[in-house]
Amino acid sequence: MISEKLEKIFNEQIDKEFYSSNLYLSMAIWAETSGYNGTSKWFYAQADEERMHMLKFIEYLNDRGGKAIVPAIKQPPHEFKDLKTVFYQVLEHEMFISKSINDIVALTIEEKDFSTHSWIQFFVTEQIQEEKSVNEIIDSLKLIGEQNVYMFDRDIMNFRDE
């Protein structure tokens, strides 16, 4: 049985994962309509991944005797300045999600819920990989400059570690 505190923080995380999926979907649409077809594919894949994360939280919470709540839809931004700026926003968002996951880890320790502590480690590792991947993309964008985004856009799917 999961505690009320953990049920509450899981539902908050479900909301964050849902928003993440919608944020990346919005970024995918922006990229696609701005001519960045490779980048749009990367963001569509990220949106799918975040939705799957949300579903994992829902399933685990329900399996442990809690009750997941479907979050309200919050509209993410839909206009972005340029590729480099959008990826800095992605990094900032992933760091926010990492902190949120760490808050869950801290609560599992406080609550002595070792099953949930073990389960959440997947997301700790996932967030390390997400931040690393986005940092690599930002580094590449810095190296290529504004004039060479075609090559970057063509090769961006190489940054996905699956």
In a domain? residue 18: yes
Residue 148, CA distances (Å) to 41, 51, 120, 136, 155 in order: 19, 32, 39, 16, 12
In a domain? residue 153: yes
In a domain? residue 107: yes
In a domain? residue 120: yes
pLDDT in tens, the chain (162 residues): 999 999 999 999 999 999 999 999 999 999 999 999 999 999 999 999 999 999 999 999 999 999 999 999 999 999 999 999 999 999 999 999 999 999 999 999 999 999 999 999 999 999 999 999 999 999 989 888 777 777 787 778 666 554
In a domain? residue 109: yes
pTM: 0.92
pLDDT for 150 equals 77
Burial class (CB in 10 A: 0-12, 13-18, 19+), 143: exposed
Tell me the residue range of the domain where 37 lies. Answer: 4-71+81-159
In a domain? residue 76: no
pLDDT for 155 equals 79
Count of domains forming the chain: 1
What's at 123, amino acid-wise? F
CATH number of domain containing 114? 1.20.1260.10
Q: Phi-psi bin for 72: left (phi > 0), alpha (psi -120 to 50), beta?
A: beta
In a domain? residue 116: yes
pLDDT for 160 equals 59
pLDDT for 71 equals 92
Contact call for residues 3 and 113 (beta carbons, < 8 A): yes
